[in-house]
Amino acid sequence: MPKSQKKISSFAIGIDLGGQSIKGALVDTKGKIIKDIVVPTEGSKGPKHVIRVMRNLVKDLSDIAITKNGKVVGACVATPGLVDMKEWIVRIAPNLPGWVDVPLLKEMQKGFDFPLYLENDANAAAYGEFWIGAGKNVKTMIVLTLGTGIGGGLILDGKVWHGADGSGGEVGHINLYPNGIPCGCGNPGCLEAHTSAIGITKRTKMAIEAGEQSLIKKMVKGDLDKISPKVVYQAATKGDKLAKKILEDTGRDIGVGIMSLVNLLNPEMVALGGGVMEAGDYILKPAKDEFRKRGFKWLIARTKIVKAKLGNEAGRVGAAGIVFSMNTQ
């Protein structure tokens, strides 16, 4: 080809639909973000409005692709809540007002000549981590994203595991303590209830209310509702015993969960991400120690327990990665 005629690049569009903002990205085949656009969700205006915003975002990003001498091979929306993967309907998204049985794929596809896809946001983020993050050299991995709740998912033999009804991969809702802290899902003692930001906050508050001494009380000026994992982590770095114990217990509980997941699924890697993991080794070390103490001997050395790498980009990048995976199947 003549030097002046550049090769056409393949791009995918990843959209991460959140309660506050919609993050869009034009992504190349290596996972590099070529262009990102973030817009407010304005969820209170209802599903139709949100879908219009997302369609405009896809349009804008595909127009940009043309200016970059690229071709959009598809777009994928990473959506919160329960996605029906047979009918391609968002059954319910608790953080988006009015989102009940929304035929999102059908609505999104209108007017675009490249294929659109849907994925649960936690699964998309897990796929991103697998595609170009911590798991880029493995085929089977488990991602635990420890935020307000626990997101993440299962990548089995290079594919997101959806289960029979699209709700597979709820890694935060394996049971940890049969009579433990009530979880948002209604069950007492899920991994999420004990080790997510909410779990850490709740356990810290309970300990201080029970009279345990801690810097934290002073740090939040006596307002225990201001406790967050960040405050607990800061207190731990200052040597606060209670804070260190809370984070260590969190890590140990995560280690028990990892043991169950590894014994059951035998992945090559478990990657831990999300805001809670900003506490780093205060959590990661006891998690690894507990897994090593409890796991099958022959799996301990073979299973990598690592920090996730992609942070907040995981959702939209993972969504774009899913588009590319559809094109190579």
Return residues touching its own copies (CB under 8 A).
82, 91, 138-140, 154, 156, 161-171, 173-178, 185-188, 253, 256-257, 259-261, 263-268, 293-299, 302
Could you tell me the smallest distance in angstroms from the CB atom of residue 180 to its own copies? 10
Q: Judge whether 308 and 143 are in contact, CB under 8 Å.
A: yes
Which lies closer to its own copies via its Cβ, residue 89 or residue 216? Answer: 89
Cα-Cα-Cα-Cα torsion 112, 118, 124, 128, nearest 10 degrees, comes to -30
CB half-sphere exposure, 183, CA atoms < 13 A: 23
Which lies closer to its own copies via its Cβ, residue 148 or residue 167? Answer: 167
Which lies closer to its own copies via its Cβ, residue 38 or residue 299? Answer: 299
Could you tell me the smallest distance in angstroms from the CB atom of residue 19 to its own copies? 21
N residues, the chain:
329
DSSP state of 171: G
Two structure tokens written together for 15: 């959209």
Q: What type of residue sits at position 81?
A: G
Two structure tokens written together for 32: 């590099």
Could you tell me the smallest distance in angstroms from the CB atom of residue 147 to its own copies? 18
Between CA 311 and CA 251 the distance in angstroms is 19
Which lies closer to its own copies via its Cβ, residue 24 or residue 153? Answer: 153
Which lies closer to its own copies via its Cβ, residue 112 or residue 161? Answer: 161
- Closest by CA to 191, choosing from 180, 175, 204, is 175
Could you tell me the smallest distance in angstroms from the CB atom of residue 265 to its own copies? 5
Could you tell me the smallest distance in angstroms from the CB atom of residue 304 to its own copies? 10
Between CA 167 and CA 240 the distance in angstroms is 40
Which lies closer to its own copies via its Cβ, residue 218 or residue 302? Answer: 302
Could you tell me the smallest distance in angstroms from the CB atom of residue 218 to its own copies? 32
Q: What residues are paired with 37 via a beta bridge? A: 24
